[in-house]
Structure 1
Amino acid sequence: MNISTRIILVNTSLPANIGAAARAMKTMGLYDLVLVAPKQFPHADASSLASSASDVLANARVVATLEEAIADCQLVLGTSARNRTIGLPQLDARSAGSTAQQHEQAGAKVAIIFGREDRGLTNEELMLCHAHVFIPTNPVYGVLNVAAAVQVLAYEVRMACLLAEDTCDEFTGTYSQRPQPVPDPLEQQGMPITLVPWDEELVKGEDMTQFYEHCERTLIAVGFLDPENPRQIMTRLRRLFGRTRLDRPEYNLLRGFFKRVLALSGEKVGRGGVILTAKSSGKNDV
């Protein structure tokens, strides 16, 4: 069973952790590894720790930014051991595995992000995610190596996939009866992420990057957002739209609204929402 969930490692310092994470992935049937600005890669330590998962390393993509890593993803889960001032919907590892499986079954591309060894993900990086994933470790000592955290999440994703279908038991060779449907864990959250209940395309990460830039420019143009004192307006809007999970028609509707508001405010708006000012060439989409 090959599972399409993407594992993203951000600014990993030790190449050995990259190799160990690749090994953890392959043992659970995950092969899509993306590295965001790793300190050292490729490296002999990564190859050594990967053992027989050298194919995962060989096919790993290295990108400069997290935005690039999630550009084609419709569900992004960020792992963190710390709560943040403005929180996202929270999922434990088991719920995250179930959620990833459900979204993948519906055709969405799913990514799980792991931060730096010493400080994890920044607030800005976590706000690119739809939910905050935590592993309920021992409260007295809850420190996990990044590769160990990858192993836990990869295992939960695999178990959710095995439970979702009638499959032959890989160890005993016997068939098991399909279990009763597992309730969507996100329905129990105060701020749920829900699957779009109709057949419309979910918007990808690269489109949402343009959406937030367009939204921010619109709020500035009408005087609602002061760029010198932005407070938490855009952070809260990111959380709001992250929970909403825009589909393509909704996205186009809101982009059209932003474009019209900007036009009424005096901004000259070109095709596709491009802002045309005296200093602009008209080539940079918002």
Structure 2
Amino acid sequence: MFNKFREGFRKIIDKIRYKEIDLKTFEELKDELLLFLVENDVSYEVAEDIISRIRSKLLHVKYDRSLEAIDILKDSLKEYIIDLMSISAQRDYFADLSSRGSPPYSVLFIGFNGVGKTTTIAKLAYLHKNRGDRVLLACSDTYRAGAIEQLIEHGERLGIPVFKYEYGADPAAVGYDALKYAETKKYDVVLIDTAGRMHVDVNLMEELRKINRVINPTIKILVLDALAGNDVYYQSKMFMEKVGFDGVIFTKIDADVKGGALITVSHLYRKPIYFLGVGQRYEDLVKFDINYLVNTLIGD
């Protein structure tokens, strides 16, 4: 996990091993460090901010001259990421949900095509069920062929009911009626699937705004593919502008991802990363751990 980032960073710091840190040393390294960050899916804007902060630290902080440049650089980058993602460390999905009113809670999942949104919903449903919650799945994706059947299949495997209408039904009506049904039947949480969006699909984005307005969900979760690289910058920006979101789940973390996308999204919106998808099983949705992330990206 994050091998490319870790190995690339190691190659850079090996060049200054056994050196004392100063501005001259850093200036010799900064362009290469900037390129490394961008190549590892950190947006250029964020990469420049990282460089600026490290440089500022060298200007204003006196270090023990016995410390090596390698230690200073590693510590500076770690501190930056920890500070940037502190909200993810402080926030908990289940706590956020329960702090916003009373059951039934509604969670609206948004994201582009192919990010693993429906599978992520099933994984979160599994977590809810293991906590003892009564869960209802709702399919507001009434356009994509096989979308309803896919959610039903997950529901059957998990022993969780699915609220659905026929293909072509109004997605907002599906979500609204699912919530009313959940109130009547005393469900604790409704997890609502939506059709995947594309950059240029104006109609689907307007439909999503309608769903959001009609349902007024307790929490909106943006599902992002960690393999999408710098494209997550544009995806997250578009969804924030159109409907907003309260938290993020990154999928496919178990693939050979670079890791910079997580840093970029955290920098842009300071929204919590609730979970990471690390495999295909229902159990493979893990709570975001900032210390594990930092140590995996940069090393001890």
**Shorter-chain TM-score: which interval?**
under 0.3
CA radius of gyration, larger in: 2
Instruction: Give TM-score, length-normalised by structure 1.
Output: 0.26
Whichever structure has more helix as a proportion of its residues is 2
Q: What TM-score, normalized by structure 2, do the two folds share? A: 0.26
Give the structure, 1 or 2, with the largest relative contact order (CA under 8 Å, sep 6 or more). Answer: 2
